[in-house]
Amino acid sequence: MSSDSSPTTGAAPEDLAAKECLFCEMTRQHQPQCVRRLPKRIILVRHGESQGNLDMSAYTTTPDYRIPLTPLGVDQARAAGRAILDVVSSCSGAGGGGGGANWKVYFYVSPYERTRATLREIGAAFPRHRVIGAREECRVREQDFGNFQVEERMRAIKETRELFGRFFFRFPEGESAADVFDRVASFLESLWRDIDMGRLEQDASCETNLVIVSHGLTSRVFLMKWFKWTVDQFEHLNNFDNCEFRIMQLGPAGEYSLLVHHTKEELQRWGLSPEMIADQQWRASANRGSWADECSSFLSTFFDHWNDDEEDNDGNENGNTNKLLE
């Protein structure tokens, strides 16, 4: 709301801010004058190549959380840091959202050795004054596959998982993707509280970028939870490559979308269906109709057919009844 269109009822600025915050709370959309400043981007990064990616037998003698990066993984992490720096710096200012040269980053990282090592190399690309802070977050750790993993046994278990379904299959002494979903949902509640409490130092003159250094499945579950994808849609998603990152960016209407930064072709390669891509397009658009009009094909996920004929008949019967009463 511009200053020349502000109400003249004498309402205090904090009262107006509270109303705008209430709007944000109900819609999860950003209002320019609101005290809640949403991060410009949420960037999900998978760790670099680990010793376990290279040789599954590493899990037999080394706990999963202690698996290190390979030399290639270190190089991948350094390259990812430079690429992320390029995104958050060159996309600012004109055509990038209005933050200009004033941008900062805040990092969340899984406690595993390979993710922390990835973060160290990514962070080396950034000047210190650009980094607000970093936090270890256990809820974005890797899916738990059990303790020490015997290679041949794990191969057999993963074959069973393919038959059972990736989302609900629970590893013996470990987790299912559904379990990961629950802790990611809890993390998102904490993330919103961090935003609400201003812990990310967001202000009107600065673009804040969140970078979450995590794991392939955990990152896919994060996207599933955020965008409300179904289990079946999750099952068709392709994993992140090592140090691949995907950018959720605020669109002009205040919704996060993968299509602000990425292309439809990229989303197709990642396994998003036409309905999911249409939803991302709607989120990225400034001049959009209602979600029900533009993304109504999403309903086919749940319904096979409609009983519209019966509704028409009911309308006719009511009309005939009304005529008889006249």
The Cα 13–Cα 28 span in angstroms is 21
Query: Among 142, 175, 207, 255, which one carries the catalytic annotation?
Result: 142
Per-residue burial over 12-35, b if 16 or more Cβ lie within 10 Å, else e, is eeeebeeebeebbeeeeebbeebb
What SS3 state is found at 109?
A: strand
Q: What are phi and psi of 72, to 5 degrees?
A: -65, -40
Active site residue 311: no
The Cα 52–Cα 55 span in angstroms is 5
Position 7 in a domain: no
The Cα 109–Cα 127 span in angstroms is 19
- CATH code where residue 105 lies: 3.40.50.1240
Position 48 in a domain: yes
The token pair at 120 is 């160290």
The Cα 319–Cα 171 span in angstroms is 60
Position 277 in a domain: no
Position 114 in a domain: yes
Query: Among 47, 49, 137, 255, which one carries the catalytic annotation?
Result: 47
Number of domains in the chain: 1
Residue range of the domain that includes 153: 38-250
Position 26 in a domain: no
Position 224 in a domain: yes
CB-count burial class (<10 Å; 0-12, 13-18, 19+) for 72: middle
| Contact between residue 64 and residue 145 where contact means Cβ atoms under 8 Å apart | yes
The Cα 318–Cα 320 span in angstroms is 5
The Cα 124–Cα 39 span in angstroms is 22
Position 118 in a domain: yes
pLDDT tens across the length of the chain (326 residues): 333 433 334 444 444 444 445 445 444 454 544 546 889 999 999 999 999 999 989 999 999 999 999 999 999 999 999 999 999 998 654 344 444 578 999 999 999 999 999 999 999 999 999 999 999 999 999 999 988 888 888 889 989 999 999 999 999 989 999 999 999 999 999 999 988 888 887 667 789 999 999 999 999 999 999 999 999 999 999 999 999 999 999 998 889 999 999 999 999 999 999 999 999 999 998 776 666 666 655 677 788 777 877 655 655 555 554 544 45
Active site residue 30: no
Position 289 in a domain: no
From the CB of residue 190, how many other CB atoms can be counted at a distance below 10 Å? 13
Order of all β-strands in the sheet with 103-109: 131-136, 103-109, 207-214, 41-46, 245-250, 256-257
What is the pLDDT, as a whole number, of residue 6? 38
The token pair at 200 is 């990310």
The Cα 120–Cα 73 span in angstroms is 12
The Cα 313–Cα 306 span in angstroms is 14
